[in-house]
Chains A and B, each alone.
Chain A
């Protein structure tokens, strides 16, 4: 008999098939740059242009010391890019794998992991730029990178949750990825990426980041790398609360929709 809930068994089975999704995810990254001359270097170039262009202007506007502001901005942008993609590209996890889903008997959750792999690889390329920036300003602290590891774990679990949520909902509502692109453009300006948190605090605008889970997901990685120590305890607690809520919603939604998804493609 078919069990009532096909999402959880499917997800567990997919996890064991790591070879398949790891390969598919890596192929996606390769395919994205296949016919370009410098390939993944574009990730670095685009990041560098953003950091130099926006960084210098905003740094001056906001009267920030460059040695602090540029690494802050670089790190924030990398994590932000991952978060946005987890929602937007997650929306195409099932829609884009339709040909496979309708042809092979694999649990479709492997296509969620597939997206996570390619997003993570893109983020790792950005990390090279971050290391370069930190070395340039002589602020590279290896211990800080170790302290950031729990944050990376949190980010991956959150990213998989975003992908799951977006993949199921977008199979039903194809407008979602487009809407999310716009929403995240707005969120970018209310999340401390382009400006330091202290500026909000000084002006009594704490609420802008205090109730913004995206800020905490960024900070548990950015703070350790820049300051060489763990982020404040509340950050981790807030992340844990967010992850629990996110995955609760994911489990309910995915379990409900799992059997219907193939008919929506």
Chain B
């Protein structure tokens, strides 16, 4: 039984794709020179990332948009396989990513709670026990009886957040979800998150808020263009990060 950990060795993720296949075929047939916007593209979302996170660590991920924060979290969650190098996550993973997707729009809030809970690895019996607590925390009340296509963006977040935090995760991975919902809920959510983190398991979360990162994490990783620019104590990394970007303005 390996202990709870996240280890990446030379992990890289390269997205490849083509823009507009039909246009390319048409150009070939008509013998037109291919326009530059119908080419193959490759994006190095992560390049040779090495890191190791062990039990009890809380790690913040910072970086500009497109720096690779979400990709890195998805690699840790075993959702994205690495295209080269290796990634190993030991322990039960609880990912909390894009809360806007992964709902059955025509089904009720209750059904969606059950589906999400199952996908997070809860047993049906545990779900039954926790259903009421999840519903109460979400404060969605009678909306739970309605199909979720009637929900507002904030209500989706409440529902998903309530389910995800009701489980007992070993490795909690969060992508920009703190401060979700309205002021009331954001406050409650933070209280709940704090409870999580005292459980002595792994937390990795990405954020654009230096305050949140320094509140929660003693270690911070700064990503830039898919590479680790800096990995160390939160105050040092945040200081370097803000100096770097204020200098360039």
State the A residues within 8 Å of B (CB). 1-2, 6, 19-20, 23-24, 27, 30-31, 34-35, 98-106, 259, 262-263
Proximity bits, B89-127, A CB within 8 Å = 1, else 0: 000010101100111101100010011001111011000
Query: Counting CB contacts under 8 A, is B143 at the interface?
Result: no
* Chain A residues within 8 Å of B103, by CB: 99
* A2 and B118 contact, CB distance less than 8 A: no
User: Which residue of chain B has its CB nearest to the CB of A98?
Assistant: B101
* Chain B residues within 8 Å of A31, by CB: 104, 106-107
User: Which residue of chain A has its CB nearest to the CB of B118?
Assistant: A20
* A101 and B104 contact, CB distance less than 8 A: no
Smallest CB–CB gap between A205 and chain B, Å? 38
Given the known interface contacts A2-B81, A2-B88, the answer about A102 and B101 at a Cβ–Cβ threshold of 8 Å is: yes
Smallest CB–CB gap between A264 and chain B, Å? 8
* Chain B residues within 8 Å of A35, by CB: 106
Given the known interface contacts A1-B86, A2-B88, A262-B80, the answer about A100 and B107 at a Cβ–Cβ threshold of 8 Å is: no
Besides A23-B115, A102-B98, A105-B79, 6 new A-B residue pairs in contact (Cβ under 8 A), listed by A number:
A27-B111, A31-B104, A103-B119, A104-B79, A105-B78, A105-B95
* A2 and B80 contact, CB distance less than 8 A: no
* A262 and B81 contact, CB distance less than 8 A: yes
User: Which residue of chain A has its CB nearest to the CB of B114?
Assistant: A23
Query: Counting CB contacts under 8 A, is B15 at the interface?
Result: yes
Query: Counting CB contacts under 8 A, is B62 at the interface?
Result: no
* B81 and A27 contact, CB distance less than 8 A: no
8 of the cross-chain contacts (CB-CB < 8 Å) are: A2-B81, A2-B82, A19-B118, A24-B118, A27-B107, A102-B74, A102-B79, A263-B15
A-B pairs under 8 A by CB, number? 69
Cα distance A10–B193 in the bound complex, in angstroms: 31
Query: Counting CB contacts under 8 A, is B135 at the interface?
Result: no
* B119 and A100 contact, CB distance less than 8 A: yes
Cα distance A103–B123 in the bound complex, in angstroms: 19
* B104 and A106 contact, CB distance less than 8 A: no
Query: Counting CB contacts under 8 A, is B157 at the interface?
Result: no
* B102 and A99 contact, CB distance less than 8 A: yes
* Chain A residues within 8 Å of B98, by CB: 102-103
* B87 and A27 contact, CB distance less than 8 A: no
Of the candidates B16, B107, B114, the one whose C-beta lies within 8 Å of that of A34 is B107
Among A6, A35, A105, the one with the most B-chain Cβ atoms within 10 Å of its Cβ is A105
Smallest CB–CB gap between B52 and chain A, Å? 14
Cα distance A101–B79 in the bound complex, in angstroms: 7
* Chain A residues within 8 Å of B104, by CB: 27, 31
Given the known interface contacts A19-B118, A24-B115, A27-B107, the answer about A105 and B88 at a Cβ–Cβ threshold of 8 Å is: no
Query: Counting CB contacts under 8 A, is B77 at the interface?
Result: yes
Given the known interface contacts A2-B87, A263-B15, the answer about A104 and B107 at a Cβ–Cβ threshold of 8 Å is: no
* B124 and A19 contact, CB distance less than 8 A: yes
Cα distance A98–B97 in the bound complex, in angstroms: 13
Cα distance A101–B119 in the bound complex, in angstroms: 10
Cα distance A34–B104 in the bound complex, in angstroms: 12
Cα distance A99–B148 in the bound complex, in angstroms: 15
